[in-house]
Amino acid sequence: MKRSFAQTWEIARRDLVQRAKSKAFLATSLLVVGMILVLGPLIANELDDPPPYRVGVVGAADEEFGAYLDVAAASFERDAVIERFDDLAAAEQDLEFGDLNVIVVDGTEIIWLEEESSQLNSVVLFALQSIERRDIAEELGLTSDEALALLAPPAPEFRTLREPDPEAEPRRIGALIGSILLYTSILMFGQFVMMGVVEEKSSRVVEVLLSRVRPTQILVGKVIGIGLLGLAQLALLGAVVWFTLTQFSIADISLADIGRDVIVQVVFWYLVGYTFFAVIYAALGATISRQEDMQSVALIPVALLIPGYFIALLSLEDPNTTLSRVASMVPPTSPLVMPMRLAVGGVAAWEVAVALTLLAAASYGLIRLGGRVYTGAVLKLGPKVKLRDAWRAAGQ
């Protein structure tokens, strides 16, 4: 037993070190880290200092139009800048070039480039309608206090039945980042498993290994070794994301706000999700002998991953829809959807228990099935081996 474990661990260590030194892994890691560090400041700048609304005014305009614009824009935490034009054609040219967001003509016409912005439209309409109400108040002979009450009536009092959870938004952001990292890590390192199987098969290294260890030991060792490498990269990317969030104050997010439970969930569901899909990648990789055939074969696990990823994103808005609840409990979508629902909240304990039970049962069955396919196909060179033929060959 100890010897079998030592052999499996030696295969895992070999795959971990070999893949960690590969150009594909190093290039991918540097590319993703670079993208996070570059996009972080851009996102922070967009969130912290949104550009002002640029409103072009043509023709007669009330002197207080700008003041009303400022009041309305401030409700959206934006500024408003007015540019006056004597010629409508010049204003339209600036609108075409993107120097203006909207044009107001004589206070009676609003011109957009293509589609109107609902937010900016409400700002402009508030300013125009405020001027109109003021003029009507003057015609009716109302006092300044009466006019003020007409233009800005007192706001009603409001209250909430429950205090908002200050950690809800950070958890949502953490869950979204975690979902992206889960998807990319499972996809990337699952393909690394397939690549390793194909390389060993085409170079006949696997024949040497099989003279000393069982096929299932090679399969399990490869899944463990590359999985540990994926976990290390996941930790690296998580650290870079956290650094970016804190360094550039994106949405005032901190590690404490996101919560250790979200981080633990992402790591846990990565391990179970990766194991599930890595066995699929390894079994499918054993059926081919050339790198050129990988792309078509790899579409099968990708087709299983993509629905889970998109349902996970939908669960961020409403984690309790029937689709989200079912997908979070049923493999192969549960590793991506359940951590998102857990981070948002409102998941019953029995749902988690069902998800883990079904995923454990599916993973065990898949390991048995994948091990048999791997055993029956890994020594067959030449054309792609059919799954049925691999299954039969393993039983002989």
Higher-pLDDT residue of 167 and 359 is 359
Residues 32, 176: one domain? yes
Residues 206, 300: one domain? yes
Residues 380, 269: one domain? yes
With H, G, I as helix, E, B as strand and everything else as coil, classify residue 320: coil
Residues 266, 335: one domain? yes
104-117, pLDDT tens digit by residue?
888 888 889 888 88
31: confidence class by pLDDT, cuts 50, 70, 90: confident
Query: Residue 64 belongs to a domain with what CATH number?
Result: 3.40.190.10
Whether 363 is in a domain gets the answer yes
393: confidence class by pLDDT, cuts 50, 70, 90: low
Range in 106-110, 213-217, 251-255, 362-366 with the lowest mean pLDDT:
251-255
> Which residue's entry shows tokens 């889960």?
182
273-283, pLDDT tens digit by residue?
888 888 888 87
**Consecutive H or E run containing 285:** helix 260-285
Question: Is the predicted pLDDT of residue 331 greater than 80, yes or no?
Answer: yes
Residues 62, 40: one domain? no
* Number of domains making up the chain: 2
Indicate the residue among 102, 125, 151 that finishes a domain: 151
Query: What pLDDT, on a 0 to 100 scale, did the predictor assign at position 364?
Result: 81
Residues 308, 359: one domain? yes
Residues 25, 64: one domain? no
Residues 120, 186: one domain? no
Whether 163 is in a domain gets the answer no
Indicate the residue among 151, 179, 210 that finishes a domain: 151
pTM over 0.75: no
Round the average pLDDT of the chain to a whole number and report it.
Answer: 78
With H, G, I as helix, E, B as strand and everything else as coil, classify residue 111: strand
Domain that holds residue 127: 50-151
47: confidence class by pLDDT, cuts 50, 70, 90: low
Residues 269, 374: one domain? yes
Question: Is the predicted pLDDT of residue 355 greater than 80, yes or no?
Answer: yes
Give the number of other Cβ atoms within 10 Å of residue 207's Cβ.
12
Give the number of other Cβ atoms within 10 Å of residue 66's Cβ.
17
391: confidence class by pLDDT, cuts 50, 70, 90: low
Axis-axis angle for helices 2-20, 215-247 (nearest 10): 50
**Consecutive H or E run containing 58:** strand 53-58
- Residues of the chain above pLDDT 90, percent: 2
Question: Is the predicted pLDDT of residue 264 greater than 80, yes or no?
Answer: no
Give yes or no for a contact between 276 and 332, defined as CB atoms under 8 angstroms apart.
yes
Higher-pLDDT residue of 68 and 165 is 68
